Amino acid sequence: MKSRYKEIPQRLSAPVFRLLPAVMPAMMMLALLTVPPAWSQQSPAALESDAARTDYGRIASRLVCQCGTCGYLVDSCNHLDCSSATYIRKAIRAGLAEGQSEEVIVASFVEQYGPKVLSEPPLEGFSWMAWIMPFLGLAFGGACVGIVLFQWNARRRKDPGGDASGASPAGESGEAALAEKYRAEIDQELEDL
């Protein structure tokens, strides 16, 4: 069937319009690539966040301020004269100055405050549940979606012609066919340009 669009003079066939879908994302990419001086003026290794952090910063981000109200990472707590964060920071620096390893320093805080000082649940005992449950939830939800899709698909196989869905089944079916047809027409014209 001949497309009705072909009756319209094609005035905008200049290459620039063909490239339009790529132009805007290209601008975005350009912005991404010209972003921070840190990207362009540092070595690639410095781009890795871990490498950009000092030992102190890495340890401080593994610990939570114990003031009891803020719940911030020691690294982030910015409460002026916060006794807890200030003490922990000094202790980290002292430990590093003495040549202690990251694990030894962190363990000393766990011994002092208990596991609540850690910024994420440790991989042991009941704390495993913290890590497992979100993905278990996702898997469970995925299984439910799979079952639902299977049931819907099974209904179609059982009754290929019917659709008792609420929204004008015949019309929807016709719309879907039309949608596919018109999309194909548009695509064909794009190729013809």
Partner 1 sequence: MITLASFSLQLALVLAVYSIVASVVGIQRDKDRIQYSAYRAIYAVAALVTLASSVLLYGLLTDDFSLSYVASHSNRTLPWYYKMTVLWSGQEGSLLFWSWILSVYAMIAIMLNREKHRPMMPYVAATLAVVQGFFLILNVFVANPFQLLGMEQGGITVIQGPLDGNGLNPLLQYPAMAIHPPMLYLGYIGFTVPFAFAMATLFTKQAGERWIETTRRWTMVTWLFLSIGVMLGARWAYAVLGWGGYWGWDPVENASLMPWLTGTAFLHSVMMQEKRGMMKVWNMVLIFSTFYLCIFGTFLTRSGVVSSVHAFAQSAIGPFFVAFLGAGILVSGWLLLERLDYLKSSQQLDSLVSRESSFLFNNLLLLAACFSVLWGTLFPVISEAVQGVKISVGAPFFNKVNIPIGLLLLLLTGVGPLFAWRKTSLGSLKKNFQLPGIISLAVGAVLFVLGVRSFYPQVSFILCVFVSVTIFMEFYRGSRVIAQKSGVSQLEAAVVLTRRNTRRYGGYIVHFGMVLIFVGVTGSAFDADREQEMVVGDRLNLGPYAFELQEISDSDNPNYASQIAVVALYQGDRMIDTLNPERRFYKSSRQATTEAAIRSRFNEDIYVVFSGMTDDQQRAVIKVQSNPLVNWIWMGGLVLIGGTLICLAPSDPGLRPSRRSSSAGNTHTHEPFTPGAQPGMQDEEKDEVPV
Exactly one of 97, 123, 170, 190 binds partner 1 (CB under 8 A); that residue is 190
147 touches partner 1 by CB under 8 A: no
Beta bridge partners of 73: 64
| Closest CB 71 distance from partner 1, rounded Å | 5
Nearer to partner 1 by Cβ, of 28 and 104: the residue is 28
Q: Is 148 in the site for partner 1 (CB under 8 A)?
A: yes
Q: Give the alpha-carbon dihedral of 113, 119, 124, 126, to 10 degrees.
A: 90
Q: Measured from the CB of residue 13, what is the shortest distance to partner 1 in angstroms?
A: 9
Is 192 a residue that touches partner 1 (CB under 8 A)?
A: no
Verify binding: residue 155, partner 1, rule CB under 8 A: yes
Task: Write each residue from 43 to 82 as x if it is in contact with partner 1 (CB under 8 A), else as -, in one continuous string.
Answer: xxxxxxx--xxx--x---xx-x---xxxxxx--xxx-xx-
Cα 46 to Cα 51: distance, rounded to the nearest angstrom: 6
**Residues contacting residue 83 through CB under 8 Å, at least 6 positions apart:** 67
Choose among 143, 166, 142, 163: nearest CA to 152: 163
Q: Record the tokens describing residue 73, joined without a space.
A: 């990472």
